[in-house]
Amino acid sequence: MSKVRIKALLQTAGTGQEVVVSGWVRSRRGNKTISFIELNDGSTIHNIQAVADANLFSDEFLKDVSTGACIRVSGNLVASQGSGQAVEIQAKEIHIYGTADPQVYPLQKKGHSLEFLREIAHLRPRTNTFGAVLRVRHHLAYAIHKFFNDKGFFNLHTPIITGSDAEGAGEMFHVTTFDLKNTPRTEDGNIDYSQDFFGKETNLTVSGQLEGELGALALGLIYTFGPTFRAENSNTPRHLAEFWMIEPEMAFHDIEDNMDLAEEMLKYLVAYALEHCAADLEFLNKMYDKELLNRLRSVIDKPFTRITYTEAIEILKTCGKKFEYLADWGKDLQKEHENYLVEHHGGPVIVTGYPKDIKAFYMKQNDDGKTVRAMDILFPWIGEIIGGSQREEDHAKLLKRVEEMHIPQESLWWYLETRKFGTCPHAGFGLGFERLVLFVTGMTNIRDVIPFPRTPKNAEF
Ligand code: ATP
Ligand code: MN
């Protein structure tokens, strides 16, 4: 007897063979003579139907084969009598691994709200929706590695604990082994981090970029794909305190090459998902968002619009629409502005040339003295999905910017040194993985595209 997963079973569809399938019961229905068990093992959105004859299985036994129970079914694969599936299993033997008392098992066949499912994140992977989302998430992660590997990029593992508090991308979580009720103090009353585990103040990283650059200036083309932490108290449907980021960094690439790569990558990833996650995406399209598949295809079809920040402000100022926040040169674009730009251009927009004062110290300065070679990619449904730039490779210019922005140099000496020794033009960007998964699945809340979300006041599972 062959032990198979349901996905493979439904694909081969060779009837007449004896099979063994294990999984979780989605539902059981039937009458006195026959029971139909819908079984799912997580390999696919589709269930296999097992048919249990009352001559072989007593009522008493089948009572425990209820929604949520985990069972193993052995039997013959036969052409299905009913509609809705090509094959089914004629059960000969059923083993119950674990029951799920219907009185208390929280997942019943009826649909549950996504909010409710967040409260039972330990069980929600067993729903159709989260099965689909988590499978899409897996395929996208795999596709990212494949995309970069096929292009000759090397995966660089950058540290999760960082000693520099100068990454500048957001508020950080402290990492310490101190007893917080009794921290060692220096003579002037400050916390004495020299006695802490690393002998200095350390945090969880907000970005692997700075170390990524060190890799690019040796290996040429690298990417990181790791967890990233931001201690901002932003309770939005687009922000997590712990999320995953993909950060390629490329030597000998300028801002144009950077945009080309980012656009190619996003199109590749969306096309990959359409090809490899068809059943799951069709389910999500049907259940949550009838425009999902169209939106995904539209992103692949045409070039992304590229405009400068200055042009963007001009568009926002003259469009006649009333915004909550005024669009004004020198100010950061708000979510409502990003949404308008995407709608106005009917698809993804890449904005470049931001004012230097609203962007990070490491971005390459333009000759106008006012703007930097930054790029943000704005996506329908999402807003900012990628932020990146060409990096300042000139030591003197970079140092001047560090000083102007009061960035503590001592913790960045190693970064600055790369501009002294064999510097070169280079560029890179950061793609928020969950924002990508949000876009591809059509989910509306970022808490629903990561298995166990971390947000303010929420770290239960
Ligand atoms: P935003 O303006 O949306 O808060 P950001 O400008 O702070 O984002 P970057 O520092 O440019 O973000 O980070 C690069 C990418 O990481 C973003 O384009 C986005 O896709 C993703 N990202 C940033 N912050 C978060 C977060 N808190 N949760 C999930 N993804 C995030
Ligand atoms: Mn950004």
Residue of 239, 246, 336 to mutate, ligand 1, most atoms within 8 A of C-beta: 239
Task: Establish whether residue 240 lines the binding site of ligand 1, counting it when its CB lies within 6 angstroms of any ligand atom.
Answer: yes
The dihedral through the CA atoms of 219, 431, 437, 242 has a sign that is: positive
Please list the ranges in the chain whose pLDDT falls under 70.
1-2, 13, 165-169
Torsion of CA 57, 58, 61, 63, to 10 degrees: 110
| Atom 22 of ligand 1, residue of closest alpha carbon | 432
Q: Which atom of ligand 1 is nearest to the CA of 446?
A: 29
Task: Establish whether residue 384 lines the binding site of ligand 1, counting it when its CB lies within 6 angstroms of any ligand atom.
Answer: yes
CA of 240 to the centre of ligand 1 (A): 9
Task: Establish whether residue 447 lines the binding site of ligand 1, counting it when its CB lies within 6 angstroms of any ligand atom.
Answer: no
CA of 352 to the centre of ligand 2 (A): 12
pLDDT of residue 13: 60
| Atom 21 of ligand 1, residue of closest alpha carbon | 432
- Domains within the chain, CATH numbers bracketed: 6-98 (2.40.50.140), 125-171+206-448 (3.30.930.10)
Task: Establish whether residue 387 lines the binding site of ligand 1, counting it when its CB lies within 6 angstroms of any ligand atom.
Answer: yes
CA of 303 to the centre of ligand 2 (A): 21
Task: Establish whether residue 245 lines the binding site of ligand 1, counting it when its CB lies within 6 angstroms of any ligand atom.
Answer: yes
Q: With contact defined as beta carbons under 8 Å apart, do 124 and 89 qualify?
A: no
Task: Establish whether residue 351 lines the binding site of ligand 1, counting it when its CB lies within 6 angstroms of any ligand atom.
Answer: no
pLDDT of residue 1: 55
Sequence-distant contacts of 296-302: CB under 8 A, at least 24 apart: 296/270, 296/440, 298/347, 299/266, 299/267, 299/270, 299/347, 299/348, 299/379, 299/380, 300/267, 300/270, 300/271, 300/274, 302/347
Q: With contact defined as beta carbons under 8 Å apart, do 144 and 190 qualify?
A: no
- The tally of CA atoms less than 13 A away on the side-chain side of residue 219 is 18
For 352, list phi and psi in degrees, rounded to 5: -125, 170
Identify the nearest ligand to the CA of 206 by its number: 1
Cross-strand bridge partners of residue 411 = none
Residue 443: burial class (beta carbons within 10 Å; 0-12, 13-18, 19+): buried
d(CA 94, CA 54): 13
CA of 179 to the centre of ligand 1 (A): 32
pLDDT of residue 283: 98
Q: Which atom of ligand 1 is nearest to the CA of 384?
A: 18
Residue of 167, 384, 434 to mutate, ligand 1, most atoms within 8 A of C-beta: 384
d(CA 297, CA 290): 13
Task: Establish whether residue 239 lines the binding site of ligand 1, counting it when its CB lies within 6 angstroms of any ligand atom.
Answer: yes
CA of 288 to the centre of ligand 2 (A): 28
Residue of 172, 338, 435, 458 to mutate, ligand 1, most atoms within 8 A of C-beta: 435
In this structure, what token pair is assigned to residue 111? Answer: 């649909």
CA of 120 to the centre of ligand 2 (A): 32
pTM beyond 0.85: yes
d(CA 461, CA 458): 9
Cross-strand bridge partners of residue 219 = none
Task: Establish whether residue 434 lines the binding site of ligand 1, counting it when its CB lies within 6 angstroms of any ligand atom.
Answer: yes
CA of 376 to the centre of ligand 2 (A): 6
Task: Establish whether residue 450 lines the binding site of ligand 1, counting it when its CB lies within 6 angstroms of any ligand atom.
Answer: no
| Atom 16 of ligand 1, residue of closest alpha carbon | 432
| Atom 6 of ligand 1, residue of closest alpha carbon | 387
Task: Establish whether residue 386 lines the binding site of ligand 1, counting it when its CB lies within 6 angstroms of any ligand atom.
Answer: yes
Task: Establish whether residue 377 lines the binding site of ligand 1, counting it when its CB lies within 6 angstroms of any ligand atom.
Answer: no
Cross-strand bridge partners of residue 355 = 371
For the chain, state the CA radius of gyration: 27
Neighbours of 440 (CB within 10 A): 28
- C-alpha angle 421/424/430, rounded to 5°? 115
d(CA 149, CA 151): 5
CA of 57 to the centre of ligand 1 (A): 55
